[in-house]
Each structure stands twice: as C-alpha cells, then as structure tokens.
C-alpha cells in the first residue's frame, strides 16, 4: 500500500510560490542523518544532491574522484557520484545513488535513476497529491 503526500509549496527562481510534488525524506550516510524534502522529477535522469546536504551527510568533495556530467541547467556545474540511504515515511530504507553537485541552489531531485526504480509514484495533480509506493519485493 502506498502513502499519499500533498504537493508542497516551493519558490521558483523568480520568487513566485507554486505547488510541486515534493516529499519529506530522511537521508543517512555513515551514521549521519538529515530530514529534507525531495522533489520528484520524472524528467531528471538521476537523483541530484545539493552541495550543503552532501556536506551535512559527511561526504567530502575532494575525496570523490568520479566526476559526472549533468545535463540541462546543471550542465555547467561539476558533480560526483555518492551514495545515501533514503527512508520515505515508514517504508524500509533503500540505497540510492546521487549526483552530488557543487551547486547549492538546486533542489534535492529524486529522478529516474534510481529513486523511480525503487518506488512507484502516481501523480494526482488535479487533487494536488501524489502517491508513493515501494517497489514490490
């Protein structure tokens, strides 16, 4: 059974507030844990982790040698691959890969690889809700 989440208020680059499919998640890595919101982005090829959140989890930028090339608005910024454990609501935690970017103004993005491989998501935009269900075992 899935969990229903309301769309959340978010400001865009122009400072206007809109409603987006963002959900509360817990990220953990090597004993550190942080509660954040993740924007579910079906157009994002990968999960994207903002710089300050990666630091809060204990990732060290200079230790990550595997650079990634991001596309779109993030294409001009460096990114490296990192892992984190993600817990959505009371579902069992899952290990996810992130492109950790040196940019801090990007939201935490939950994309195709591999959030949407671990969870099924149904969007009900007209009701301003979404349903998240863990992938069946």
Domain residue spans of the chain? 3-134
pLDDT band for position 65 (50/70/90)?
A: low
Fold designation for 3-134: Cathepsin D, subunit A; domain 1 (2.40.70)
Calculate mean pLDDT across residues 102-119.
94
pTM of the full structure: 0.90
Q: What is the pLDDT of residue 49?
A: 96
Give strand ranges (E) for the chain: 3-6, 8-11, 17-20, 22-29, 32-40, 48-49, 67-68, 79-88, 94-101, 109-110, 119-124, 129-134
> Is the pLDDT reported for residue 66 higher than 70?
no
- Smallest Cα–Cα separation from 71: which of 37, 109, 38, 97? 109
pLDDT band for position 77 (50/70/90)?
A: confident
The residue behind tokens 């300050």 is 52
pLDDT band for position 111 (50/70/90)?
A: very high
């Amino acid at each position: 059974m899935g969990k229903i989440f309301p769309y959340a208020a978010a400001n865009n680059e122009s400072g206007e507030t809109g409603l987006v499919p963002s959900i509360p998640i817990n990220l953990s890595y090597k004993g550190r844990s942080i509660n954040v919101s993740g924007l579910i982005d079906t157009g994002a090829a990968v999960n994207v982790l903002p710089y300050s959140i990666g630091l809060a989890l204990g990732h060290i930028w200079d230790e990550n040698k595997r650079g990634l090339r991001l596309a779109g608005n993030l294409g001009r910024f460096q990114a490296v691959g990192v892992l984190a454990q993600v817990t959505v609501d009371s579902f069992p935690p899952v290990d996810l890969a992130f492109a950790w970017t040196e940019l801090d103004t990007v939201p935490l993005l939950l994309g195709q690889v591999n959030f949407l491989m671990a969870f099924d998501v149904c969007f009900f935009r007209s009701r301003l809700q979404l349903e998240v269900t863990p992938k069946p075992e």
